[in-house]
Every structure is written in C-alpha cells, then in structure tokens.
Amino acid sequence: MYDHFIDYIRQHRLLKTGQRVLLAVSGGLDSMVMADLFKRSPYDFAIAHCNFQLRGDDSKLDEQTVRLLAEQYNTRMHCTRFDTKRFARQEKTSIQMAARTLRYRWLEETRRVNGYDAIATAHHLDDAIETLLIHLARGTGIAGMKGIPRKTNNVIRPLLFATRSSLEAFAAEKNIRFREDRSNIETKYTRNKLRHNVVPVFKSINPSLHESMRQFFHRMEGTEAIFRMMTEDRRKACTKQSADELHVLIKPLQELPYPDIFLYEFLKEYGFNASTCRQIAAGLDAQSGKRHHSDTHTLVRDRDRLIVFAQNNACGDGICIKIDPGVQEVSAGGCTFRMERGTMTPSTQLPSDAKTLMADMNKLVFPLLLRSWLAGDRMIPLGMKGHKKISDILTEEKIPLHKKKEIVVLVSGRDIVWLPGIRAGEPFKITGTTLKYLKISMT
C-alpha cells in the first residue's frame, strides 16, 4: 500500500519534494489511513478537521480522535466547528451540499493563510465509481465520466488508486484506529444507495469491476484531453473576440458535427447551459434579432454571427441592452420593444402616442442602447429647443418613486432618442427630408 501510495503521488506529480500539505482528516477509515501513509512518507504535513456538529456526541468523539492523532504524530492541528444546519437553511441547500461548501471553503482559507502548498483528501477508487454513477444518473459530459479528478486547483486526492477493501486490509494490518460513521449504512442518501444497492450488482456482473473502472477512467481522461484539443482548434476557427464581446461565426459553426456541443464549450464560461445552447443551435437559420440570456450575459443573433456581451456592459448596474441594426425585438423593464424599419412614403403615418417611436434612421448611431436612466441624464423633448433633465420629466409626469427605477431610455451615441412611453427626442424626429425610419412599438 505504501509503495503504491508514493508511486501514485510521484507518477501524477501531485506533490513536489519540500512542499507542505494539509490533510483533511475526518476520523474515518479513509482519512486515518491517509494520515498514516503521510506519516511514513517524506512529505511535511499538518492535519485539519471539520466538526459539522450533525451527529451529537459522535461528532465530538470524531474531533477528539483526530486531536489525539495529531498529538501522537506531534504535528500541527487545525480544527473548526460549523453550524451546518443553519448554513443549509440560509443557503436553501441540502445538508450534504452545505457541509461540502463549508469544508472546502475553510480548508482553502486555512491552506492560504498558513502557507500550505496543497490540501489532501482521502477519496478512493470506490468513491470515484460512485461519483461516476451519480453523474450518469443526472446526465453528464466527458468531464463527468472521469469520476473524481486526481487534482482540482489546490486539492489533491492521493488515494484514488486504492479500493475501500484494500484500505480496510491496510488498517487491520497496521492496527490503525478509526471512527465508524453510522450514517454510512443508511440508504436515504444517494451515494449510500449506490454503494449498498447498485455497485454490488455491477460487481456480480463483473468481478473485476475495480480494474475495469481504473482503465475506463484512464481512457476518459485521454478522451477529454483529445476533445479539449479539438475544441480549442475549432474555437479559433469559429469565434472572434471583439473588445468586450465574443462573436461566434454561424457558418463554420454549422459545418461542425453536433454544433450545439461545440457551442456549449464556447459559451459555458459566459453562463449559458447545455439546454440553452441546444435552443440557440436549433435557431441558427432564424432571422437576426433573436436573443438568449444567461445570468450574466446576453447573446443576440446578428446576420452571420452570434454576439455575446455582458448584460451590464458599460452601464454599471441595471438594464443595459445593445440594439444592433438587425435586431427585431428586445425586452426590458417588463416591456417588449418591437423594431420595424421602412422607407418614408406619402401614406406613412406618424405615431399618435408616446408608446411608439418613429425616428430618422440617418440620425441614429448604432448600436443603440436601451438602458436604465441615470442621474444627470438629459434630453431635448419633442417640440423643445433646450435640454431637460430626465429626473424633472419623471417628476412632472408624477411617476411613483418605486416605478422610477424601472424607467429605461433609448440612447444613440451620447444622446437620448426616447424616454419610452413618455417623451420622444426632438433631434431624431421625422422631417420632410427623412428617407428611412425606425419604428419602435412598446407593449
């Protein structure tokens, strides 16, 4: 076991000579074996323990066991206690997810403050198999097929080569004491259901399951590496970075097999999920103007490309939407704005209310910007010669205070074209020399 442990660390370059590692030790079998192996190794380490205060006296005994171990090893001990249930309620998440978040957040902070090079957790091969099954049940891509990665940022997992049974045998051989978590036998948790009810079925089908899964994880790592190389190559051919925007060229994207898969790889860092990317890919032949939104970004189809930009682009907080010449419809402030472009004729009728704008196209500078109004904004209202503050107009119109924050303005360059539903701008009005117009209807 010890030789495999050292070989695994060196083969996969999990630690370098002289680096200091923080061991996450719960008091259970896996982490107590890991601590024993590090004690025999040449690596400098300290011990960290999280008390989630979920199991009453058992939680106290777990902490006591780890403290005694640190004393026995004469090594530094870091310990913290969490009100896990309260945190779960605050974050509206499960106890398991709350504990995981608290644990990794505290471990990383402890590592950073005390100058450790890495955090070691005691995940093993059986954990990786169970994780794979969880990923498959929820739906996953290539990354999820790898099970548990050997290294994630500052976290290393030096026991992934070992099975649970081999750890049990080593603990018995070396007389390693550990604490049994009685919740591990309960099948109300997803992982325990798989451990006790599903994995044994796989083992009955394939007695060499562990070795098969080792090979499978290795192939998936290689497959993902090849896929990443291909994705980066296609990214260069299909995308262009323009200032603070990402442009995805539609024609080369359509030529790819499974364009939605590649599109997801291009857009996931902007918050777009796989489902939205499938919708976008299905509408690549649609007219310009179609929009999709993530929590942080907006994507708009514009002629031969998809343009992605931050929702707060250049405007700080609030609504901020670019309107390019081909856009047909946008939504903002609870309203829908529909764009229509046309050529002036003797029969063209001008709007009779402030919910419709008609502006001279030749006087507009694109992209227009539909954004939340800002303190200090001014415009020249239709029929006037001088500027007037937007705040004064809203006051005159007796707009309630709580509604003012929903007001948007349409901007061309540095000038306000329209205060939707309230005022149009004089400089952009239709005149006898207007050839083409932009009509925007607000509903």
The model's pLDDT over 18-53, given as tens digits with 9 standing for 90+, comes to 999 999 999 999 999 999 999 999 999 999 999 999
CA 310 to chain centre: 15
The residue written with tokens 């998809």 in the block is: 306
Angle, in degrees to the nearest 10, between helices 84-91 and 95-114: 110
Question: Domain spans of the chain?
Answer: 2-222, 243-310, 320-442
**How many CB atoms neighbour CB 423 within 10 A?**
23
pLDDT in tens, 147-183: 999 999 999 999 999 999 999 999 999 999 999 877 7
Q: Do domains 2-222 and 243-310 have the same CATH topology?
A: no
Tell me, rounded to whole angstroms, the distance of Cα 87 from its chain centroid.
21
Looking at the domain 2-222, which fold is it? Answer: Rossmann fold (3.40.50)
Q: How far apart are the first and last CA of the chain?
A: 70
What would the mean pLDDT of 184-192 be, rounded to a whole number?
Answer: 79
CATH of domain 243-310: 3.30.465
Contacts of residue 416, defined as CB under 8 A and 6 or more positions apart, other chains included, come to: 377, 378, 379, 390, 409, 410, 425
Cα separation values, 442 from 126, 326, 392, 422, Å: 59, 17, 22, 11
The strand pair at 436-442 and 151-152 is best described as unpaired
The span from the CA of 126 to the CA of 200, in Å, is: 11
Quick check: 205 and 220 in contact, CB under 8 A? no
pLDDT digits 0-9 by tens, 303-362 = 788 989 887 543 335 688 999 988 999 988 678 999 999 999 999 999 888 899 999 999
Residue 406 has pLDDT above 90, yes or no: no
